[in-house]
Amino acid sequence: MNGTSFLEKLLDGVGVEWKALDTVIKTVTAPSKLKSQAYRATGKLPIVDQGIEFIAGYTDENITPVEAGEYVIFGDHSEHIKYVDFPFIQGADGLKILKPISANAKYIYYAFLNFYTKEMSYKRHWSAAKQTLIPIPCPDNPKKSLEIQAEIVRILDAFTELTARKKQYNYYRDQLLSFEEGEVEWKTLGDVTKKWYSGGTPTAGEPEYYEGGDIPWLRTQEVKFSDIESTEVKITQAAVKNSAAKWIPANCVIIAISGATAGRSAINKIPLTTNQHCGCLEIDSAKALYRYVFHWVSFNYENIKALGQGARGDLNSSIIKGFKLPIPYADDPEKSLEEQARIVAILDKFDTLANSISEGLPREIELRQKQYAYFRDLLLSFPKTEEVEA
């Protein structure tokens, strides 16, 4: 079903009216303000203020909060838009507390955020932002209108929740891989590597090297911060014999070293061959766990990529092997490997949730993103009337 027919079915023959934001909300005045302006890390009442942080801080002052309800918050000087559904204390004077009138508050939030962002270049403050046009479906049928608004909110909420969960997993990974001075000994990847492997590309277009091949041959576009169980291309024994594409053992840490993919990493769960744009580290299991090294280089993707040289940003064995790696309890190998294993066990669970194609978040997020984009575009596809209610 295309977008037009879906929209027609959703609206069921009833139109859409575009209304200025200030006609579908009312401004709420906070009953009291902060006295000391002291924002604490914890406290009995959350403070909502301008700026990117959802909650700016907390206070224990004996002041009356804005009562629990559903509000859209606009920062008059920061242009940040938030949705709040709990009691809170107003921070700065420039905060606008908006309560929708006969509309779904979360829908107004999403619509305001969507359209204001697109028109922000000339609506920097509330005096102009309040003119942002909001599409109200079925304005003459409040029940139907709220049903449509609620369905759009349901989809957008699902997407937002999944994205927040992935951010949470990334946060915990960052915490696990952040160490205080003296907690670890800094080694290089070369210090824990038994052998470095590189690869090659059999002559393209040579049937003898590709047709009927059963040897996995890895290209950098398949290096995607994950385990590799198979490759898209297979080569023959003749290809291995007559090119630099040599076998590497399973469980190497593979790092793309050339071009746009430089710095990306993976683990090969099967023996395979690679092209010349992959660098492979066979980790010395007495010094470090290969999965611990993999999580570290994945975590440091941007830092490794930044070391690239030349116009293409290429890496090489010296750069990779010289990159620093934190080794916990380095003077006690057994304890070190136990600690690495503990960290790996936690990160592997996060990795399954955050990066697995079959059972984790990406597939779900991909589906939700399509729905999110669809409903976002659905908002944009509402026909605009010639006149907007003043």
What's the rounded mean pLDDT across residues 34-52?
Answer: 80
Asked if residue 321 belongs to a domain, the reply is: yes
CA dihedral 175, 179, 184, 185 (to 10 degrees): 110
| Residue 95: pLDDT over 70 | yes
- Residue 161 pLDDT level (bands cut at 50, 70, 90): low
pLDDT, tens only, 68-88: 999 999 987 767 889 999 999
- Residue 1: predicted pLDDT: 37
Give the span between the Cα atoms of 116 and 79, in whole angstroms.
Answer: 9
Give the span between the Cα atoms of 217 and 204, in whole angstroms.
Answer: 13
| Sheet bearing 193-197, strands edge to edge | 193-197, 278-283, 253-256, 265-268, 227-228
CB 209 within 8 A of CB 242: yes
- Residue 117: predicted pLDDT: 66
What's the rounded mean pLDDT across residues 275-284?
Answer: 96
Give the span between the Cα atoms of 298 and 227, in whole angstroms.
Answer: 12
Asked if residue 221 belongs to a domain, the reply is: yes
Asked if residue 18 belongs to a domain, the reply is: no
pLDDT, tens only, 224-265: 888 999 999 999 999 999 999 999 999 999 999 987 889 999
Asked if residue 259 belongs to a domain, the reply is: yes
Range of the domain at 319: 182-337
Which of 67-76, 160-169, 189-198 is most confident? Answer: 189-198
Asked if residue 11 belongs to a domain, the reply is: no
Asked if residue 213 belongs to a domain, the reply is: yes
Q: Bin 138: left if φ > 0, else alpha if -120 < ψ < 50, else beta.
A: left
- Residue 172: predicted pLDDT: 73
Q: What is the CATH number of the domain that holds 286?
A: 3.90.220.20
CB 50 within 8 A of CB 77: yes
Predicted model pTM: 0.56
Asked if residue 345 belongs to a domain, the reply is: no
Other CB atoms within a 10 A radius of the CB of residue 51 amount to 14
Asked if residue 374 belongs to a domain, the reply is: no
Domain tally, the chain: 1
